[in-house]
């Protein structure tokens, strides 16, 4: 090494993005990982994790509607996006896409500029934006506001791609609700496209895949199911062989058997954990629910629903999805951790800088206790949360020694 490390983190178990390593020290320099070694140098300030703790890559969440009392649709200010990101850091997420659910074109433009401002200001963990809608099927609308659905027209590709090189853009749309060539146009503008909230029998989705669509949003939910002759969105996702899929492992959106099936067919390399989280996450005042576009949303533990029982996003952080997937969804802990970090990073084209604990990678890390609770997170090598008590600013739970 040409320069001495800034500091180090020592752990009895380190998950490097692929496998577990025993008794390793991770050396950090300039916000990146300088080395991972079993023979640490002396004279470096070292944070030593207690026995039973795990050091893993920080989680990457592609679908975060809200958190900390903030819904991106309602508040795309710098402060609001900062609160949203901070709420999810307490659940181990160190990189995310704030997600705008179906809204008007002016609201889309405001959200894009708000996210651009957050990135420019260095709000930790903000990678870009996920625009979920408004070009969705009215037959698979879920909790989205049907009055805000729109037809894809001239200028919409430029609108959706408005973040440009300032950050990453993911768009969820129903392929049957956009004209041929629309997906190809978005992809040519640097946008990643997922199918979601779609009633298509599979034909329009296959066309979109040929145009560059690469993923499916919250697999099984708000999409056409597989039938005996028509694959629907679910069958197409499971049988494509190349596309990725996000899945909500919260015990409400998808049954445990379906989680196991999806993992068997897609594997940890293409199945990604997402939270689809709403504003009550990390908000002490959000226990009674909230209002979404004039509709009252009830909260029952970590289940959110409208008065008619329609699910309305989730009230979990990523560590809860990891716990559910590894305890009930058929995944090993290594698979679940990869599904929360390396796999979404790879989907976004960022697997050369995040999702692994290896030299040259961003020092975005999470320390997990033996019971899979988040004890600490680091972004760029800096402590960014103080674990299970929910502090977003404060001293490290594991002090350097």
Residues designated as active site: 276
Half-sphere exposure (Cβ direction) of 101: Cα atoms closer than 13 Å:
23
DSSP state of 381: T
Q: What crossing angle do the helices spanning 232-239 and 256-266 adopt, rounded to 10°?
A: 40
Residues 273, 340 contacting (CB under 8 angstroms): yes
Q: Report the 10 Å Cβ neighbour count for 291.
A: 10
SS3 content of the chain, % helix, strand, coil (to 5): 25, 30, 45
Q: Do 357 and 34 touch, CB atoms closer than 8 A?
A: no
Is the Cβ–Cβ distance between 129 and 163 less than 8 Å?
A: yes
Say how far apart CA 349 and CA 369 lie, in whole Å.
30
Task: Please say whether the beta carbons of 131 and 171 come within 8 A.
Answer: yes
Cα–Cα distances (Å) from 278 to 17, 29, 63, 155, 304, in that order, read 27, 35, 10, 29, 9
On the question of a cis peptide bond just before residue 134, with omega within 30 degrees of 0, the verdict is yes
Strand, helix or coil for residue 200: coil
CA distance 219 to 346: 18
Tokens of 160: 């959706």
Q: Give the burial class of 51: count Cβ atoms within 10 A of its Cβ; 0-12 exposed, 13-18 middle, 19 or more buried.
A: exposed
């Amino acid at each position: 090494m040409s320069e001495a490390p800034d500091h180090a983190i020592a752990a009895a178990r380190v998950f490097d993005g692929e496998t577990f390593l025993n008794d390793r020290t991770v050396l950090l320099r300039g916000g990146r990982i300088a080395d991972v070694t079993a023979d640490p140098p002396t004279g470096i300030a070292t944070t030593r994790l207690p026995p039973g703790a795990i050091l893993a890559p920080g989680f990457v969440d592609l679908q975060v509607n809200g958190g900390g009392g903030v819904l991106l649709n309602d508040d795309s200010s710098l402060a609001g996006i900062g609160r949203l990101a901070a709420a999810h850091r307490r659940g181990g997420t160190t990189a995310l896409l704030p997600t705008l659910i179906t809204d008007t074109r002016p609201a889309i433009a405001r959200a894009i500029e708000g996210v651009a401002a957050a990135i420019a200001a260095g709000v930790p963990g903000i990678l870009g934006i996920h625009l979920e809608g408004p070009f969705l099927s009215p037959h698979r609308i879920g909790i989205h506001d049907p009055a805000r659905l729109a037809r894809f027209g001239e200028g919409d590709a430029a609108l959706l791609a408005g973040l440009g090189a300032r950050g990453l853009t993911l768009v969820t749309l129903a392929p049957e609700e956009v004209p041929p060539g629309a997906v190809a146009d978005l992809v040519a503008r640097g946008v990643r496209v997922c199918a979601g909230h779609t009633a298509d029998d599979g034909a329009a989705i296959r066309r979109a895949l040929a145009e560059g669509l690469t993923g499916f949003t919250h697999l099984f939910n708000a999409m056409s199911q597989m039938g005996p002759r028509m694959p629907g969105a679910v069958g197409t996702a499971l049988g494509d062989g190349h596309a990725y899929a996000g899945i909500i492992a919260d015990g409400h959106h998808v049954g445990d058997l379906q989680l196991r099936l999806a993992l068997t067919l897609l594997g940890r390399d293409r199945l990604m954990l997402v939270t689809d989280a709403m504003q009550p996450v990390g908000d002490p005042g959000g226990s009674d629910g909230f209002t979404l576009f004039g509709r009252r949303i009830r909260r029952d533990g970590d289940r959110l629903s409208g008065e008619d029982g329609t699910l309305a996003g989730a009230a979990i952080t990523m560590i809860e999805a990891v716990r559910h997937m590894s305890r009930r969804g058929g995944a090993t802990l290594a698979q679940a951790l990869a599904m929360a970090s390396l796999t979404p990073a790879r989907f976004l084209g960022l697997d050369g800088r995040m999702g692994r604990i290896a030299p040259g990678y961003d020092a975005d890390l999470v320390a997990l206790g033996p019971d899979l609770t988040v004890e600490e997170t680091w972004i760029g090598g800096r402590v960014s949360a103080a674990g299970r008590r929910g502090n977003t600013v404060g001293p490290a739970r594991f002090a350097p020694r």
